[in-house]
Amino acid sequence: MQPHNVVSREAWIAARKAHLVHEKELTQARERLSEERRALPWVKVDKDYAFDGPGGKVTLAELFRGRRQLVVQHFMFAPDWNEGCKHCSFWADGFERMIPHLAARDATLVAISRAPVEKLAAFQTRMGWTFDWLSSGNNDFNYDYEVSFTPEALNSGEDKYNFGTTRIGMEEAPGISVFYRDEAGTIFHTYSCFARGLDMMNAAYHYLDLTPLGRHEEDLPYPMDWVRLRDHYTPAPVQASCCHS
Distance from C-alpha of 152 to C-alpha of 143, rounded to nearest angstrom = 12
CB 150 within 8 A of CB 160: no
Write down the domain spans for the chain. Answer: 43-201
Distance from C-alpha of 149 to C-alpha of 169, rounded to nearest angstrom = 9
Per-residue pLDDT of 172-213, as tens digits, reads 999 999 999 999 999 999 999 999 999 999 999 999 999 999
Q: What is the pLDDT of residue 234?
A: 82
CB-facing half-sphere around the CA of 233: CA atoms within 13 A = 9
Question: pLDDT category, 243, cuts 50, 70, 90?
Answer: low
Per-residue pLDDT of 84-120, as tens digits, reads 999 999 999 999 999 999 999 999 999 999 999 999 9
Counting every residue written for the chain, the total comes to 245
DSSP 172: B
pLDDT at 138 over 70: yes
| Pick from 3-7, 133-137, 181-185, 240-244: least confident | 240-244
Q: What is the pLDDT of residue 191?
A: 98
Query: Which residue has better confidence, 158 or 140?
Result: 140
The beta strands (E) that lie in the chain are given as 43-44, 50-53, 56-59, 69-74, 107-113, 133-135, 160-161, 166-167, 175-181, 187-193
Q: What is the pLDDT of residue 245?
A: 44
Q: What is the pLDDT of residue 43?
A: 98
CATH of 43-201, one of 3.40.30.10, 3.40.190.10, 3.40.140.10, 3.30.56.10: 3.40.30.10
Helix, strand or coil, per DSSP, at residue 233: coil
pLDDT at 242 over 70: no
pLDDT at 15 over 70: yes
Q: What is the pLDDT of residue 147?
A: 97
Mean pLDDT of 153-160: 89
Closest CA to 65 of 97, 101, 96, 110: 110
